[in-house]
């Protein structure tokens, strides 16, 4: 799914209860992580719910970054799905350059999430960007 398709789907839904339901449905479809990956090293701090996130280079195209994440809360799993639509399969430069606040605003997430959920969403975003920069540095060192 693209962010344009997600935005279109959000616009088709009436009120925010329906949109929250849609986010929860997205979260239920998220593949998640095996228990072995749900360790402190992969935990995203700054989220009220438990969130674990792993990133790696794509095996077919090492310039692209793959994201896997999970949470113990359905709505947060839905927010992870939004972030994966934005970032999964992108380069480190694309991840760091993405105008996330604009996307969250278009979806209405900036206005309809509780302050703690908003903080968690931004904590996940920053963790993804930090890990992407680290993978980019590793790749640059390996290429030189």
**C-alpha pair distances (Å), 54 with each of 14, 25, 34, 41, 128:** 34, 22, 11, 9, 9
Residues taking part in catalysis: 47
Pairwise CA distance, residues 57 & 27, whole Å = 23
pTM of the model: 0.91
Pairwise CA distance, residues 30 & 52, whole Å = 13
| pLDDT tens, position by position, 31-90 | 989 999 999 999 999 888 999 999 999 999 988 999 999 999 999 999 999 999 999 999
State the CATH number of the domain containing residue 125: 3.90.1010.10
Q: Which structural domain range is residue 74 located in? A: 3-143
| pLDDT tens, position by position, 81-117 | 999 999 999 999 999 999 998 999 989 888 888 888 8
Structural domain total, the chain: 1
What b/e readout covers 93-113, taking b as 16+ CB neighbours within 10 angstroms? eebeebebeebbebbebeeeb
């Amino acid at each position: 799914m693209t962010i344009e398709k997600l935005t279109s789907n959000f616009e088709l839904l009436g009120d925010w209860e329906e949109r929250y339901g849609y986010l929860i449905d997205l979260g239920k479809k998220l593949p998640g992580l095996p228990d072995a990956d749900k360790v402190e090293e992969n935990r995203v701090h700054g989220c009220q719910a438990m969130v674990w996130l792993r990133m790696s280079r794509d095996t077919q195209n090492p310039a692209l970054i793959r994201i896997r994440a999970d949470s113990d809360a359905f709505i947060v799993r839905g927010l992870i799905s939004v972030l994966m639509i934005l970032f999964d399969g992108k380069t480190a430069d694309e991840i760091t350059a993405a105008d996330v606040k604009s996307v969250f605003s278009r979806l209405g997430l900036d206005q309809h999430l509780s302050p703690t959920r908003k903080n968690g969403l931004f904590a996940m975003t920053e963790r993804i960007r930090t890990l992407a920069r680290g993978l980019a540095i590793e790749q640059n060192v390996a290429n030189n």
